[in-house]
Amino acid sequence: MFEQFTESEERGQVGIGTLIVFIALVLVAAIAAGVLINTAGFLQTQAQATGEESTEQVSTNLVYLSTTGTVSNSEDGINQFETTVQLGPGSSAIDLNDTTISVFTDDGESEEFDSLAEDGIELEDRSDDEAVLSTASSDDDATATIVFDLTDGDGIDPEDGQFDEGTTVDIVITTAEGTQAENSFIIEDPLDPQLDGNTDPDQADEIRLG
């Protein structure tokens, strides 16, 4: 009887030890699962934020429609040019006051505008407060014409206050989201005034550039 009692006691101790080990494994597994769930939640949040940012960058864009220039008094260049832009298909609203507009020429001229309130640049028929392009109300609100004055002296200030014939001009608009819209045009040499059907350079006030 003594031997049987001893065997039962040993079996009970082994069972308790197994139970402790099992509980410890369950606790470790629960802790590991909690860590994995927290990590997965963090990664999901981060991925969602990255996806939204990427989508906004892709969908926020501008499209150039046309560019015209005003013939200078010397009739061998332009002293002002206007470029019309609109929201790209599916683009979210863009505030032109939050964009950076850069102008470069192959003659080494360059200028960067951080605001439409700066000298030498303005919106045609719209105030700086109306610089948001949006399709929420009408198509007119999705289009804007940006005017660059080469005679101002404080903005783009080329020699003689004009871009000469044969000059290549690049315009780059960088939105607040980092997307860029670029347009390039060449001022023909000699000038080729085709705007409004007027082909006489002495009578033409504007020429089509791109």
Is the same domain home to 35 and 82?
no
Domain boundary among 39, 59, 79: 59
Is the same domain home to 26 and 91?
no
Is 121 within 8 Å of 147 (Cβ atoms)?
Answer: yes
Is the same domain home to 140 and 74?
yes
- pLDDT for 163 equals 92
The residue among 44 and 132 whose pLDDT is bigger is: 132
Is the same domain home to 200 and 100?
yes
Print the domain residue range for 22: 1-59
- pLDDT for 183 equals 93
- pLDDT for 54 equals 45
Is 116 within 8 Å of 94 (Cβ atoms)?
Answer: no
Q: How far apart are the first and last CA of the chain?
A: 109
- Percent share of the chain, pLDDT over 90: 30
Across the range 96-103, mean pLDDT stands at 93
Domain count, the chain: 2
Query: pLDDT (tens digit, 9 = 90+) per residue, 146-199?
Result: 999 998 777 888 888 899 999 999 999 999 888 899 999 999 888 766 554 554
The chain-wide mean pLDDT, for the chain, equals 79
Across the range 103-118, mean pLDDT stands at 90
pLDDT at 202 over 50: no
- Output the pTM of the full model: 0.67
CATH number of the domain bearing residue 80: 2.60.40
pLDDT at 2 over 50: no
- In the chain, DSSP assigns E strands to 62-71, 77-87, 94-95, 100-105, 110-113, 121-123, 132-133, 143-149, 163-164, 168-174, 180-186, 206-208
Is 79 within 8 Å of 53 (Cβ atoms)?
Answer: no
Is the same domain home to 85 and 140?
yes
- pLDDT for 44 equals 72
The residue among 18 and 104 whose pLDDT is bigger is: 104
Is 160 within 8 Å of 74 (Cβ atoms)?
Answer: yes
- Bridge partners, residue 87, by sequence: 62
Is 187 within 8 Å of 163 (Cβ atoms)?
Answer: yes
Please provide the DSSP assignment of 135-191 as one string. SSS-GGGGEEEEEEETTSSSSS--GGGSEETT-EEEEEEE-TTS-EEEEEEE--SS-
Residue type, 24: A
